[in-house]
Amino acid sequence: MSSDSLDQIYAAQRANAGSVGATDASARIEKIRRMEKMLFAHRADIRKAMADDFRKPAAETDLSDIFPIVGEARHAARHLRRWMKPQRVATPLALLGSSSRLIHEPKGVVLILSPWNFPFNLTLGPLVSAIAAGNCAMLKPSEMTPASSACMKRIVSELFDENEVAVIEGGPETAEALLKKRFDHIFFTGSPAVGRIVMRAAAEHLTSVTLELGGKSPVIVDRTADLDEAASRIAWGKFLNAGQVCIAPDYLLVDETIRAPFLEKLVAAVRAMEGEGSRGIIVNERHAARVRRLLDSAQDGEILLGGSSSDARSLPPTIVSNVAPDSALMQEEIFGPILPVVTYRTLDEALAIIAAKEKPLVLYIFSRAHDVVRDIINRTRAGGTVVNHTLIHFYQLNLPFGGSGESGMGKGHGRAGFEAFSNARGIVEQRTRFSPIQLMFPPYTRFKQKLIDLTLRFF
């Protein structure tokens, strides 16, 4: 997109932000419901776009890209009136005669920068929250999934005028041009490296950000776990979308007492999920080469499954055991269909491995011992945690979703998404002629000092 066209859209949204922000809950809900209906109307187009970009199975597109947006839309439409309702808060005695309330007002014009791994989900999901909060939005999907970006642009243009919501196609130079503009909020999903670039650009305008990043999310399987259940759920969570999932289990920590039977079940579970049309591909040859390089770094490891492919953009589900802790496979986020396995003797040993790395986006625990689960949660730090399953917290819209530290900043989904795109504005209104604070206005006499002393002690 040309610089002039981008400037025109930005200026139009700036001029329209006041009108959009003044809309009531009914108007916003109507937009969200139209968006939900449009997704179903274009379901075949979305499936085809994802197949063109990823060879992604239609069923997987339904579950991983369409269903989360539909869920977000329905949740927001159901709860938006309550979210927008002013919230009364208690009045301290020192402010006797006043009343206070909290309202959530739109931030204005927001930018949503989305990645290539789930292009519809991670663009239109945050858009639901932005619309619910009453904002205008510019959407920049990844250039690595051109079919999905073009399809998204068609859908959005049928729903909104560009002065309210616009899809901006283009490469890194387009993203760079967008980041030079003063937005009221930036919602970015992607890698920590690019997240730093986004945050630096946002700092130039003191723009608030939500950063949904990634990292090495561990999964612990202890000796009390249901091994069949753990194997099937880890196999699904790790190899969905060819492992290109920011919340995928990145490495496996398994108790040495159940290592052999569990890995046997894990291999069987992965094979059971294989079938015609059940596997996607890596987004491009560059990323595929990066994933192969990580696999090559684990030369001392034992490949239990997979490991090679004749397709430049494909790698079969691969499980590698006995991986050296200092290998690239255990140091870098994999973001591909490789699962390294590390055996531990004591829980302290497993937790030391986790503590040596940055805070993960999510920590997975497979255990039937409640005291062990509590102990792990108390002794670790992570953006989120799932016990005895994988990935499902992304669908739980009653909980905030996001990372901590290196894995992200801020939260999204459901109410947390609405709040991310809103300014929480506190309002205090003095309702009476008398205000206790006035008794302590200057000049500061001895009597007023006594009043101040009493206030400090008792109020």
Angstrom distance (rounded) from CA 156 to CA 161: 8
CB 395 within 8 A of CB 68: yes
372: helix, coil or strand? helix
| Cis peptide bond N-terminal to 443, omega within 30 | yes
For helices 3-21 and 172-179, the axis angle rounded to 10 degrees is 50
Does the annotation count 212 as an active-site position? Answer: yes
Give the burial class of 224: count Cβ atoms within 10 A of its Cβ; 0-12 exposed, 13-18 middle, 19 or more buried: middle
Other Cβ atoms less than 10 A from the Cβ of 108: the count is 21
Give the burial class of 19: count Cβ atoms within 10 A of its Cβ; 0-12 exposed, 13-18 middle, 19 or more buried: exposed
Does the annotation count 246 as an active-site position? Answer: yes
User: What residue type is 434 in one-letter code?
Assistant: F
Residue 166's alpha-carbon distances to 110, 159, 177, in angstroms, are 11, 10, 15
Residue 356's alpha-carbon distances to 66, 160, 330, 360, 372, in angstroms, are 37, 47, 11, 11, 20
Sequence length of the chain is 459
Lookup: tokens for 243: 């492992």
Instruction: Identify the active-site residue in 246, 333, 406, 419.
Output: 246
Listed in order, strand segments (DSSP E) in 119-217 are 136-140, 165-167, 185-189, 208-212
Residue found under tokens 């929480």:
424
Residue 193's alpha-carbon distances to 176, 263, 285, 354, in angstroms, are 15, 33, 20, 21
CB 116 within 8 A of CB 24: no
Instruction: Identify the active-site residue in 72, 212, 333, 419.
Output: 212
220: helix, coil or strand? strand
Give the burial class of 143: count Cβ atoms within 10 A of its Cβ; 0-12 exposed, 13-18 middle, 19 or more buried: middle
Catalytic residues, by residue number, are 212, 246
